[in-house]
Amino acid sequence: MTLLVEDRGAVRILAMNRPEKRNALNTELTRALLDGLRAADAAESVRCIVLTGAGQGFCAGADLSEFKDLTPEKQHLVEERAELTMQLHLVFPKMAKPVVTAINGAAMGGGAGLAVAGDLAVMAESAKLGYPETRHGIVAAIVMANLVRQVGRKHAFELVSFGESLSSQKALAIGLVNRVVPDALAEAVTLATKLSEMNPQAIQATKQLFHEVADLSLEEALKRGRETNKRMRAFKKA
């Protein structure tokens, strides 16, 4: 099973489960993860999701062993995989429920993209994070859009051009993660539990508005905020 699913109260833990490959994202795992996130968002019993990796690593990024089939002669496979990867990274802001990532080990390339795609990110002290694509002659293409939004242009360009990995403390210093702790999963579950105890309508509206205003002009963002403000009176205590 490429994706492990565990419920702890109202928190659902999704663990990428290819430890022998450092949880590298092949097509099977990518689809399972996308389906798992959508299923968790739809489940009435779940209020918050934690994403982590089985074994010693979080996610090594794309499984390079599949690249041999992604050639110009098989353009349909190239397009299918690119679309699947894009949809995986796009699902996080579209989900109604918050996602906390528990970066328990190395998170590289597409794995780094997943690590910072959550609403909150907790990183183990010993973990590393980076975008080494240029060192392999490729581009951190799909993950770049979210990275720029997370840390700004200068930090983002340095990360995707030099391909050097960051320590947990450096990732914290530039705002890629919220916490650095010895046990990332335990802290992530603690934060997720706190979120799950909040008013669900308020959390859902907060997340929706948060992602909407991030890419709007100030005036448009304020208008969206105004509309949410008018709906707040309908929130009921969970």
Amino acid at 180: V
The H or E element spanning position 85 is helix 75-94
For the record, the structure tokens of 187 come out as 């802290």
φ, ψ for residue 111 (rounded to 5)?
Answer: -70, -40
Residue 158 is among the residues annotated as catalytic for this protein: no
Crossing angle of helices 75-94 and 141-151, in 10° steps, is: 20
Q: 7 CB contacts (<8 Å, ≥6 apart)?
A: 13, 45, 46
Beta-bridge partners for 5: 14
In the block, tokens 């794309």 appear at 62
Amino acid at 218: L
Q: How far apart are CA 210 and CA 214, in angstroms?
A: 6
φ, ψ for residue 107 (rounded to 5)?
Answer: -130, 110
Q: 36 CB contacts (<8 Å, ≥6 apart)?
A: 3, 5, 14
Q: Residue 226's Cα: distance from chain center in Å?
A: 28
Active-site residue identified among 133, 187, 212, 220: 133
Task: Provide the annotated active-site residues.
Answer: 133
